[in-house]
Structure 1
Amino acid sequence: MQAHITSVGLVIKPDPADTFAYPHHIDRASLDALPSKPGIYIFRDEQDRPLYVGKSVNIRSRVLSHLRTPEEARMLRASRYVEFRRTAGDIGALLLESRLIKELQPLHNKKLRRTREMCTLHLGQDMKSAPDIVYARDHDFAKTADLYGLFATRKAALEKLREIVDVEMLCPAMTGLETATHGRACFARQISRCLGACVGAESIDAHYLRLRTALEEMRIVIWPYDGPMGIVEECDGWKQTHVIDHWFYVGSIDQAKGAQKISRAAQRTFDVDTYKILVKPMLRGELRIEPVTLARRDKCGKRGKLDKRPTEGPKA
């Protein structure tokens, strides 16, 4: 359809939807069923294997945009139908997308496909101590204080520390990036890139304070509650509560289904993707957060009575 000019001189551009042709090899019924609501979608092949998991506040619009993208031709050629799962909002869609990508390992999702062994910088309270690199396997990031930054590799953590040291004119020797020799200037001091903590020109206390201040914007926020809390979203009268425990997405409670379903969760450990999804909106006060009631399990894994004790609020 070509653009045309009306009798009053208005230019009418064609609507892409009017000329859109659905791929004949993708089940049309699965496409017609897509809602214009929040949630996730899964492209699957003829063996039902997941090819791609995505999320959107408008599932239908997002999936149709995939069908119009030439760069995704390889994935589309292998697709045979599209599955979807509704959520009550964008946060729920983000959390579910992250979980399903890890569980299903879809071929065309690369960014979140692997559960990463993260590391971080730890700066102790001793002003003479240098930052250490610590790993999630050894420390619970949701409970440990004085952690800064999330890195996929030790190399990435060291590169970030070097960048901070260079920009802030900190001492490489005092921060563990260079072997320290008592009373001898570090290399950066020799080229006027260090304020001289290594030779006493700057006090150790002042250097430590500058280092901690430079790291502060990367501080990992400790989980601010004593236990799991619910993030509530509502859409068209449908209420979902997304249960989060120490930056781990446990699952979502539908208002009509009750809390018992959540108690099947796996071991709850700090999850970097859940943390990144939630930490900023939580700190800005943008989330509706409520205590949750979960089913207890006995030592044999059997479901017990509901624990009626509310989860306490944020720690002081």
Structure 2
Amino acid sequence: MSTTAAIQATFEDLGTALADVTFVVLDLETTGGSATDSRITEIGAVKVRAGERLEEFQTLINPAESIPAFISVLTGITDRMVASAPRIESALPAFLEFIGDSVLVAHNAGFDITFLKVNAARLGLPWPGNKVLDTVHLARQLVGRDESPNHKLSSLAQLFHAVTTPDHRALHDARATVDVLHGLLERVGNLGVHTLEELQSYSARVSPGQRRKRFLADPLPSAPGVYIFKDDHQRPLYIGTSVNIKRRVRTYFTAAEQRSRMAEMVGLAASVTPIVCQTTLEAQVRELRLIAEHKPRYNRRSRHPERAVWLKLTAEAFPRLSIVREVRCDHATYAGPFGSRVAAEAAMAAVHEVLPLRQCTKRLSTRTTSSACALAEMGRCGAPCTGAQSVDDYALIARSAAQTLDGSGRGVLDALDERLRDLAAGERFEDASLVRDRMIALVRAAARAQRIRPLADSAEIIAAAPRPTGGWEFTCVRWGRFAGATVAPRGADPRPFIEALRASAETVAEPQSPAPAASAEETEKILTWLDQPGVRVVDIDGVWTCPVDGAGQAQDVLEPLLRSQRDVAGFSEASDWSVASRAG
């Protein structure tokens, strides 16, 4: 995997200096507050750059309807004044030509911009999509109540000594907003905000110390890869990935980053190390491996893949379920891995809910017997320990459990679904919730085992994905582990690139099936990439199979159902709990 690359800075990376930005400060007068039901009666705008007023635009507009009396009292605009004024059909195209590609500025910009967009849509005019700056939003970040009682235009105009007093006439209000804008820009300039991009993301929630660290992003490349925040002892604090390292790291110094722990992390950061990767998948895998290796204190996920556990159906005369930390060559059946022991215990309980597997931990002999346990007396175990159940009879139960764990059977899941419906019909909703949670834990584990197995059992897979700019990216996967990647440019013969990838890819030792040679999260990342539209398998040393009626299908039904039920306060209908009807 490549770690360095020469990247040339772009104008986007440098930012647009505020002194070079052309702003059009605008204001509208209307017949009411609803953009769909009201009409524009006046447009006023001032074009400014670097503190200099360049042009002005002003026109009354005939709304083709009577102006309400209270609006006339507020604005001073009457029906008589607009009688000979142009209609919006001619006024709006002229105004769109006036604004060009300028940054639009308004006080409570959402109101004015919505009116303009709605009227453009009515006339079939394309909205130009100019960037928008709201002086109300900016003032809320910069002007405290000790300076101004509120953030109304009239109050701010007084605070910043505007030359024009706002009076609800469009051009007058636009001129006053220009003075307010310049006052606000002077304040953010003193805080180190000098580009349009910084201004758009400015927020008072970002501390001065956090903002001062933005220089850490300056030397970073605009390329896909991994970034590592490090403290002054070069210890990793946080590891992330992005399709554009520079752009992503910049967000940690703006209002776009709202996680409090990230603000704390930035305060400790002394440097950011980039690792440029050829493909997005390579970056994602590198991120996972680095997090697992360094365990940065500010990363919450992927820190401990070694803690994953498996649910195991033992290989013995009378198999039982147990939770283990590794897969061994012992002919047992495994499901997982699980991210926590709690999830594994829930999946185990789901199987025990409908299958009378023994739950004792001792190894049973076919020659000797012992007394029955409480579960046998309750009818939840066939009591093979007493000789009441033969090896062959017990094997039928164990086979059903094994099929469930490897994701190829639906018998246990159907039985759990029946159990859910019975509990719901009896209005035992708390018990039904418990069974449901256990069932989803089992389904997730079985589906994961079902998805991972073909990848983990394949010695090598070469897959290709089309690049947006043309050409192909190729990935080599060995025993479920990312082994290498390369990129073939547009028009090039891909075969030499594939052979070079195969020769240079990481050598991976065969793991103990069904475990892959990588963490389950890495293998899942690979599977997600393989499932993307347009990705195709070029070559495979293995067999790719997936049961049609397995755990994956059950998961596709259960997950949306579970998400929808989380949004409901309670459940009253038995049909809410039925999975089989949705799977059918």
Fold shared per TM-score above 0.5: yes
Answer yes or no: is the 8 Å Cα contact 2:313–2:332 preserved in 1.
no
How many Å apart are 1:187 and its aligned residue?
A: 2.3
1:147 and 2:252 correspond: no
In the TM superposition, 1:215-226 aligns within 5 A as 215-217=405-407, 218=446, 219=449, 221-223=453-455
1:243 match = 476
- When residues 188 and 158 of structure 1 are mapped into structure 2, their CA distance, relative to the original with a 3 A threshold, is farther
* 3-state SS of 1:72 partner: helix
Residues 61 and 190 of structure 1: CA distance in aligned 2, closer, same or farther (over 3 Å): farther
**Alignment of structure 1 residues 175-194 onto 2, 5 Å:** 176-177=360-361, 182=369, 185-192=372-379, 194=380
State the partner residue of 1:93.
Answer: 283
Would the alpha carbon gap of residues 177 and 170 (structure 1) be closer, same or farther in structure 2, given more than 3 Å must change?
farther
Which residue pairs with 1:171 in the alignment? 357
Structure 2 residue aligned with 1:30: 217
Instruction: Name 2:230's counterpart in structure 1.
Output: 44
Please state whether the residue corresponding to 1:6 is helix, strand or coil. helix
User: Would the alpha carbon gap of residues 231 and 205 (structure 1) be closer, same or farther in structure 2, given more than 3 Å must change?
Assistant: same
CA shift for structure 1 position 26: 2.3
2:201 corresponds to: 20
CA contact 2:229–2:273 (8 Å) conserved in 1: yes
**Range moving further from structure 2, 267-276 or 10-19:** 10-19
The C-alpha deviation readout for 1:43-74, integer Å capped at 9, x for no partner, is 23344432211123454564344442233222
Shift, 1:241, TM fit: 2.9
**How far off is 1:76 after superposition?**
0.8
Superposed CA RMSD in Å reads 4.5
CA 1:147/1:47 → structure 2, altered by over 3 Å: closer, same or farther? same
Aligned to 1:207: 397
**TM-score, structure 1 normalization:** 0.67
> For the residues of structure 1 that align with 2:312 and 2:113, how far apart are their CA atoms?
71
2:462 aligns with 230
| Distance change >3 Å, CA 235–CA 186, structure 1 → 2 | farther
Instruction: Return 5+ residue gaps in structure 2 as ranges.
Output: 1-105, 118-131, 139-196, 408-445, 490-496, 512-516, 546-584
State which of 94, 99, 108 in structure 2 corresponds to 1:3. Answer: 108
Partner of 1:306: none
Largest Rg, 1 or 2:
2
- In the superposition, relative to structure 1, how do residues 289 and 87 fare at CA in structure 2: closer, same or farther (>3 Å)? farther
Cα pair 1:30 1:83 within 8 Å, conserved: no
In structure 2, C-alpha distance between the alignment counterparts of 1:129 and 1:276, rounded to whole Å: 29
1:106 aligned to which of 275, 292, 296: 296
Contact 2:279 2:485 in 1 (8 A): no
Report the residue type matching 2:269 in the other structure: S
Deviations 1:165-214 (A, max 9, x none): 333243334xx45787948554234345x264644499424312331243
Secondary structure of the 1:128 match is coil
Determine which structure has greater relative contact order: mean sequence separation of CA pairs < 8 Å that are 6+ residues apart, divided by chain length.
Answer: 1
Once the two structures are superposed, residues 12-66 of structure 1 have per-residue CA deviations (whole angstroms, 9 ceiling, x without a partner) of 774995343484442536247553x643222233444322111234545643444
The question of 1:312 aligning with 2:502 is answered no
Match of 1:277 in 2: 525
Q: Does 1:290 align with 2:538?
A: yes
Q: Letter of the aligned partner of 2:267 in structure 1?
A: R
Equivalenced residues, count: 289
> Taking structure 1 as reference, are residues 8 and 100 closer, same or farther at Cα in structure 2, changes over 3 Å only?
closer
Q: Could you say which structure has the higher strand fraction?
A: 1
Give the letter aligned to residue 26 of structure 1: K
Unaligned runs of 5+ in 1: 292-310
DSSP 3-state at the match of 1:244: strand
Which range moves more in the overlay, 275-284 or 203-212?
275-284
Partner of 2:434: none
- Paired with 2:503 and 2:227, the residues of 1 have a C-alpha distance of 22
State percent identity of aligned pairs: 18
Distance 1:288 1:93, change over 3 A: farther
1:9 Cα deviation after fit: 3.9
Distance 1:34 1:282 in 2: 27
Contact in 2 for aligned 1:253/1:261 (Cα 8 Å) = no
Q: Which letter maps to 1:56?
A: S
Q: How far apart in 2 are the matches of 1:7 and 1:204?
A: 72
One-letter amino acid matched to 1:227: A
Checking the alignment, whether the CA contact within 8 Å between 2:278 and 2:487 is kept in structure 1 is no
SS where residue 106 of structure 1 aligns? Answer: coil
Which residue in 1 is equivalent to 2:193?
none
Q: How far, CA to CA, are the matches of 2:114 and 2:484 in structure 1?
A: 56
CA distance, structure 1, for counterparts of residue 339 and residue 371 of structure 2: 34
Q: For the Cα contact (< 8 Å) 2:278–2:485, is it kept in 1?
A: no
Tell me if structure 2 keeps the 8 A contact 1:95–1:274. Answer: yes
C-alpha deviations, 1:110-152, integer Å up to 9, x for none? 4323451654334367673334655547559xxx883212146
